[in-house]
Amino acid sequence: MGRHRRQQRARGRRSGRAPDAHRRRTRFHPVRPDHHPPNRSPRVPAESNVMTSTSMRTHQCGELRPEHIGQQVTLTGWVATRREHGEKLAFIDVRDHTGVTQAVVDNTVDVRSEYVVRVTGTVAARPTENLNEKLATGGIELQDCTVDILNVAEAPPFPVSERADQVAENTRLQYRFIDIRRERMQRNLRLRAAINSAIRTSMEDQGFVEVETPMLVPSTPEGAREFIVPSRQQPGSFYALPQSPQLFKQLLMVAGIDRYYQIARCLRDEDLRADRQYEFMQLDAEMSFVDQLDVHEAIGACVVAAAKAAGQDPGEIIKITWHEAMNRFGSDKPDLRFGMELTELTDVFAATEFKAFAGAATIKGINAAGKADDYGRNKLDGMTDKAKKMGAKGLVWLKVAADGTLESPVAKFLGEAEQAALKSALSAQPGDLLLIVADEWATTCEVLGTLRNDIGRPPVYEGPYRYLWVIDFPMFVGVDAVSGHPIPAHHPFTRPHPDDLHLLETDPMNVRSQAYDLVLNGWELGSGSIRIHEHELQARIFTILGISDEEAQKKFGFFLNPFRYGAPPHGGFAFGIDRLVAVLAGEENIREIIAFPKTQSGMDPMTNAPTPVVQKQLDELGIRVLPPKA
RNA sequence: GGUCCCGUGGUGAAGUGGAGUUCACGCCGGCCUGUCAAGCCGGAGGUCGCGGGUUCGAACCCCGUCGGGACCGCCA
């Protein structure tokens, strides 16, 4: 740019208005190549043919093709880049969420990065030697352009491109309104919208009725920590924000809604993670007169619809029992994309003289095929530490040498026959790394399951997508050391497995429940259960849990009493939409598919929430803030 | 509540006791008529998160603190 541009800038600034005067002829233009990392997220399906022209534009920046050649069009958007070629020629790329188009302009047009512009010009074929195959609009450009500056812009803090993937996330969140201009965020948010839409359509096609439940609800201190909201009219009393619509949706079954759903915002005041935010969205559903197969079918259809909205066909959703999941994968949310299954070795070492193995309840191993060279002493020690932290007494590792012998500190304690049986059981080949744990069944499974994930789990954006139902969860997860009562694995309204009812009092730890999880590539998408609808069974469960009638009445009275008025058999499910979208988008972190997420410490770098409030607000609520702890 | 990692011009990085030094991008100015992450030349821009300590001397070592991230606990 030269003199002209400088002068125009000066004039525009002096007058303090958008420089309408900047109408310049240009020639034409293309779209910036949409960055799309290989094996990354799916593209949002083609948008419908809705009319997106407005009084200010005729087309969007990603839609012009050679078939439009000769038409006069008007585009609106942001200046993505400017390439100058002397006083008479410059190229500007105009961007909106659909893509970019190259406009050929007179270099006296003073537009800079992220200026908001309207460009009117004639669609023209690019010279054949100047086609840009990286751009969807790379066959054309706008020529004879008039450029209106609709707004000026300061230089953005980071580039509005895939290069900002390298920028500190905190900076991206602080300027989220710029970050979301990027193709990645546009794609993620639009994918999310498409999935939400598919979920609604699927649920409604299946006769589910959307009912909205309150955000201000009574506090029920079981389970996750709640956000509480002080009541102004009842000083000293508080609402809670819902962890889930659980109680309301069950009452809707009593109320004869029959099939309820809601895309519900849920809030939990627990520490944040890559897959957890304070507030998150769930597809929440409940059905009357069903068994768990009915629920699996309905929710499965909904998830399939969501996957198809992301351009995928998930195929059949398989089912395995919790026990099988633990036994084979050492996890209740197994990632089925890779093998390395847990192999039973208890019999192999039944008569061993190796003290660490002798008498162990369960001995299992995994074969990290070909990984022997990847795991040196440091990493192996680290894995051993991890195993011990998880409660195992130790971890045995063996490397298979080129000649087939086992290299390990403990090899000398294992007999030849044992070594041969071990190699056979694990199909060991030279270069393999074998890991063995001998302990209680649960510990053995969990430790090896964790190591299996650590060693073998592919990145989230690597397919295929493997959905599964994990069914027959145990009713109880352990026994309270103080009270001696069993600890429920799910909420206390979960229905026991009908075949195990007789064991409730005598052998509670072997009672299965009618609870189930939906798992995708190692992510727990959600869980549900058939509920208890009869008063007698509920009372029996409370007795087993050590909850007195009085206590039950006090804690859950508003929920239990309605069940006396004709509660139908019912069950339901809820799955986290954020997690589903993240996996389908190929994102490791749900913040990438949320427009305005919180950081790990629960803050929003853009709004600076949470903030102190003025004293008057506290006074009205009868709240006094204590000084910080020393 | 805990473990570990990270804070250096607008952005990303390099700098492990000796001058705010370096690189790329961006920004500002100049040149440039077919670029498309244009190119070439020049320039500006920093309280090395903050506070304290050690040292003749600290971006660098120590302590604290704030902010960010991963994980454990937690998430019926």
Q: How far apart, in whole angstroms, are the C-alpha atoms of residue A404 and residue A402? A: 5
CB of A601 within 7 Å of some strand B atom = yes
> What pLDDT does A376 receive?
86
CATH number of this structure's domain A3-151, picked from the four choices 3.20.20.10, 2.40.50.140, 3.30.1540.10, 3.30.310.40: 2.40.50.140
> What pLDDT does A49 receive?
59
Measure, in angstroms, how far nucleotide B76 C1' is from residue A149 CA.
Answer: 57
Q: Strand, coil or helix: what is A279?
A: strand
> What pLDDT does A555 receive?
83
Measure, in angstroms, how far nucleotide B3 C1' is from residue A627 CA.
Answer: 29
Q: Count CA within 13 A, CB hemisphere, residue A199.
A: 25
List for chain A the helix, strand, coil content (%; round to 5): 30, 25, 45
The residue to which tokens 């990027």 are assigned: A182
Q: Which two tokens stand for residue A203?
A: 């649920």
CB of A488 within 7 Å of some strand B atom = yes
Specify the nucleotide whose C1' lies closest to residue A143 (CA).
B34
Residue partners of A362: CB distance under 8 A and separation at least 6? A344, A346, A438, A439, A440, A441, A444, A445
CB of A491 within 7 Å of some strand B atom = yes
CB of A572 within 7 Å of some strand B atom = no
Report helix angle A535-545 to A549-560, nearest 10.
140
In window 408-437 of A, residues with CB < 7 A from nucleic chain B are: none
Q: Strand, coil or helix: what is A623?
A: coil
CB of A222 within 7 Å of some strand B atom = yes
Q: How far apart, in whole angstroms, are the C-alpha atoms of residue A629 and residue A608? A: 22
Q: How far apart, in whole angstroms, are the C-alpha atoms of residue A611 and residue A433? A: 52
Q: Measure CA to C1' and name the residue nearest B10.
A: A157
Could you state, in order of their start, the residue ranges of all structural domains in chain A?
Answer: 3-151, 186-321+469-593, 339-456
Nearest C-alpha neighbor of A76 from the set A103, A46, A51, A44:
A103
The residue to which tokens 């069940």 are assigned: A563
pLDDT along chain A (630 residues), means of 10: 37 32 30 32 48 92 96 97 93 96 93 96 95 95 96 95 93 95 96 97 98 95 90 94 95 97 96 95 98 97 96 91 96 95 95 92 95 88 88 93 95 94 97 95 94 92 91 92 88 95 94 96 95 93 91 85 94 96 94 95 91 91 78
- Protein-contacted bases of chain B (C-beta within 7 A): 1, 10-13, 25-39, 67-76
The CATH architecture assigned to A186-321+469-593 reads: 2-Layer Sandwich (3.30)
The CATH architecture assigned to A339-456 reads: 2-Layer Sandwich (3.30)
Q: Measure CA to C1' and name the residue nearest B34.
A: A130
> What pLDDT does A320 receive?
96
> What pLDDT does A326 receive?
96
State how far the alpha carbon of A158 is from the alpha carbons of A177, A178, A184, A366, in Å.
12, 9, 14, 45
Q: How far apart, in whole angstroms, are the C-alpha atoms of residue A172 and residue A179? A: 6
Beta bridge partners of A365: A343, A436
Q: Count CA within 13 A, CB hemisphere, residue A203.
A: 28
CB of A154 within 7 Å of some strand B atom = no
Phi and psi at A488, nearest 5°, equal -70, 140
Strand positions, DSSP E, A53-139? 72-84, 90-96, 99-105, 116-125
